[in-house]
Amino acid sequence: MGYCCCTSSSSSFNHLVTNFTPRFKGLKIPHQNKWPDGSQRASKVYAYHGLKTPPYKLDALEPYMSRRTLEMHWGGHHRSYVEALNKQLEKNDILYGHTLDELVKVTYNNGNPLPEFNNAAQVWNHDFFWESMQPGGGDIPKLGLLQQIEKDFGSFTNFKEKFIEAALTLFGSGWVWLVLKRKEKRLEIIKTSNAVTPLVWDDIPIISLDMWEHAYYLDYKNDRGKYVNVFMNQLVSWNSATARLMYAETFVNLGEPKVPVA
Ligand SMILES: [Fe+2]
């Protein structure tokens, strides 16, 4: 549940606020009535970004990803990013008017990130990561997604090998993504360091894999290879990926071969 308090009836500010973190309830938020250029704001809006819950129980990914890992990763690290972001937003009123997606893009600031970027991007990245997995995941994609993967990677086996190779050659902490490139109209595997997310280049993410050590250490210690293979064979949600690709088709005409839309 979110928290949003407006002192006027204006609905011009929309915030993606879900599963509000109780710790912030009742917190007094400093607010400025004017934009930096001195013009008057239309309304006072107090809002926070919330800690979104994974779409399954915390033990639902066992034995491949333990409840202990989810408690630490979602309940600890992800929560910390949310709380740190909200603390930063207390001090930067001008950023209140953005959804989380917009906040990530705006604070990236064309490659010169503002202080809020890392926390905003990590909140977005983790929301997306939880929904990139499902109980009983793995297997192979169906319908149009499989066709598109075969078109862009030659075969599903080749795609898997390239995704795993990308994950295992990522230096340090970061993310591996399957994205749809808007201009090229094709799927690509990309790697990003630290908090950087393909949203900032206007790519459309389809799947993500968290390659920060906190994502796998409790279950797999330093065996990144085992973690990545388990993700691909047992956890990845092709259902989410298929839905995301279908949604992406609203914006990108993939051309031939046609990707069937249910
Ligand atoms: Fe993480």
pLDDT for 68 equals: 98
Place of tokens 């250490």: 217
Q: Can you tell me the distance from the alpha carbon of 36 to that of 26, in angstroms, rounded to the nearest whole number?
A: 27
pLDDT for 251 equals: 78
Tell me how far the alpha carbon of residue 66 lies from the centroid of ligand 1, in angstroms: 14
pLDDT for 40 equals: 55
What residues are neighbours of ligand 1 (ion), with CB under 5 Å? 210, 212, 215
Tell me how far the alpha carbon of residue 77 lies from the centroid of ligand 1, in angstroms: 7
Cβ-based neighbours of 155, under 8 Å, separated by 6 or more: none
pTM: 0.80
Q: Looking at residue 232, what DSSP letter applies?
A: I
- Sign of the alpha-carbon dihedral angle for 35, 36, 38, 39: negative
**Helix H or strand E encompassing 143:** helix 143-153
Pairing between β-strand 204-210 and β-strand 45-47 as defined by DSSP bridges:
unpaired
Tell me how far the alpha carbon of residue 176 lies from the centroid of ligand 1, in angstroms: 12
Tell me how far the alpha carbon of residue 159 lies from the centroid of ligand 1, in angstroms: 23
- Specify whether the CB–CB gap between 29 and 46 falls below 8 A: yes
Tell me how far the alpha carbon of residue 236 lies from the centroid of ligand 1, in angstroms: 16
- Specify whether the CB–CB gap between 204 and 182 falls below 8 A: yes
Q: Can you tell me the distance from the alpha carbon of 238 to that of 25, in angstroms, rounded to the nearest whole number?
A: 37
**Helix H or strand E encompassing 30:** none
pLDDT for 48 equals: 81
Tell me how far the alpha carbon of residue 147 lies from the centroid of ligand 1, in angstroms: 30
Per-residue pLDDT of the chain (262 residues; tens, 9 = 90+): 333 333 333 333 223 233 333 333 333 334 445 555 555 554 444 458 999 999 999 999 999 999 999 999 999 999 999 999 999 998 877 887 789 999 999 999 999 999 999 999 999 999 999 999 999 999 999 889 999 999 999 999 999 999 999 999 999 999 999 999 988 889 999 999 999 999 999 899 999 999 999 999 999 999 999 999 999 999 999 999 999 998 888 777 765 444 444 3
pLDDT for 13 equals: 28
Strand order across the beta sheet in which 174-181 lies:
186-193, 174-181, 204-210
Q: String of b and e for 19-45 (b: at least 16 CB within 10 Å)?
A: ebeeebeeeebeeeeeeeeeeebeebb
